[in-house]
Amino acid sequence: MATAIFYASSVGNTEDIAQRLSNKLDNIKTYNICDEGITKIQNYEKVIFGVSTWGDGDLQDDWEDSWGDFCEMDFTGKTIALFGLGDQDSYADTFVDGMGTMYDVLKEKGANIIGFTSVEGFLHEESSAQIDNEFVGLVIDEDNQNDLSDDRISKWVEGIKTQIL
């Protein structure tokens, strides 16, 4: 099975990162769950999920709307990579918690999760997406560190490319 990216985006940042990732990964298919829903996830053995965190650690609205159905899916045997967007200055104590919420469900549902990244270079206080000194996926802060996004994307893609394509 091919690989696809599933994301949701309120203001366009997550969509932009999804497209940038797709471009670096041989133009794999992207799905905005607002338009496509989540049922096509089952068609793929390898999936990248993009989620932003809103307010005090909440999932983006479209993910929130699909969350019940998402939590019922079986991810056994699927290779999953995550990317999350957040604002480490305004929400330092819930930074990229949406990605942490997604990680917990995917892990419980049998996913093989790849693409952990270092917390080095981030100035947050807490995150449910952090295990020891690593985030459970690629972390992007377009609000405060957008100048670092291209480098973070490139390094992450190089680290997962052989496992996700």
Bigger pLDDT: 131 or 56? Answer: 131
Domain count for the chain? 1
**Is residue 76 helix, strand or coil?**
coil
Q: What is the pTM of this model?
A: 0.97
Token pair of 136, please? 């459970």
Residue 123's domain comprises 3-164
**3-class secondary structure for 86-155?**
CCCCCCCCCCCHHHHHHHHHHHHCCCEEECCEECCCCCCCCCCCEECCEECCEEECCCCCHHHHHHHHHH
Q: What is the pLDDT of residues 77-136, one digit of tens each?
A: 999 999 999 999 999 999 999 999 999 999 999 999 999 999 999 999 999 999 999 999
